[in-house]
Amino acid sequence: MRLVWRRRRREDPLVCREFVELVTDYLEGTLPDHERARFEAHLAECDGCSGYLEDMRRLIGSLHDLPEPPPDAATREALLRAFQELRGPG
């Protein structure tokens, strides 16, 4: 019992190599509490990892706002014809 307790209290600190593997779990909110604490402890004192995390956030945010190329003219026309046929007035 005592051994288990001691091991949980003296957790190895997280290193950068491990940090990058946990970034998605962290952003998804799926890290268990003690893992999140290790992650955030490391984040707060590692410039390299906080830059990495910020870049991943930016990358994800940029994907969210990304305009897609429009469908080609023929596809667009075919869809509009279908729309008029199926949903158009009259």
Q: Quick one: 16 or 37, whose CB is closer to other proteins?
A: 16
Nearest in space to 55 (alpha carbons), one of 83, 25, 27: 27
Q: Quick one: 6 or 64, whose CB is closer to other proteins?
A: 64
Q: Quick one: 35 or 52, whose CB is closer to other proteins?
A: 52
Phi, psi (5° rounding) for residue 10? -110, 70
Nearest in space to 50 (alpha carbons), one of 62, 42, 58: 42
Residues forming the site for other proteins (CB under 8 A): 15-18, 20-21, 23-25, 28, 30, 46-49, 51-52, 55-56, 58-66, 68-71, 75-76, 78-80, 82-84, 86-89
